[in-house]
Copies of this chain bind each other. A is one copy, B any other.
Amino acid sequence: MGATKTDHFSEEQNKLANMMKALGHPARIAIMEYLIKVDTCICGDIVNELPLAQPTVSQHLKELKNAGLIKGSIEGTAICYCVDKEAIAMLQRYLANTTLQLETKEKSCC
């Protein structure tokens, strides 16, 4: 035990859960917000923005990348990270649809 039983759930449920999980840490929320705030995506100063050590930040970036939320490419000596717009858009659509489904229901018994 201890491992998530991913095989019992749908592809979409697992993908969504993975993205949500990646965003389920304040440091990673902060990283995303910073990447969005900064105009250019050439970012070599994410570490300076966060109250965490460099290896920790690097690990968080890796997780965001694995979840498909950011993209990174080598830019000389630094590495260029930026948000994957389509991934965010997908999340947004899912939640918008959920909200819509909820609004059409009048019953709210709790």
Chain A residues within 8 Å of B, Cβ to Cβ: 4-6, 8-10, 13-14, 16-18, 20-30, 32-33, 36, 39-42, 50-52, 71-73, 80-83, 85, 88-89, 91-92, 95-96, 98-99, 101-103, 105, 107-110
Contact = CB atoms under 8 A, between A and B. Distances in A.
A29 to B, nearest CB: 5
Contact of A29 (B17, B27, B71): B17
A43 to B, nearest CB: 11
A10 to B, nearest CB: 8
A33 B8 CA distance: 15
A30 B51 CA distance: 35
Contact of A24 (B17, B50, B52, B98): B17
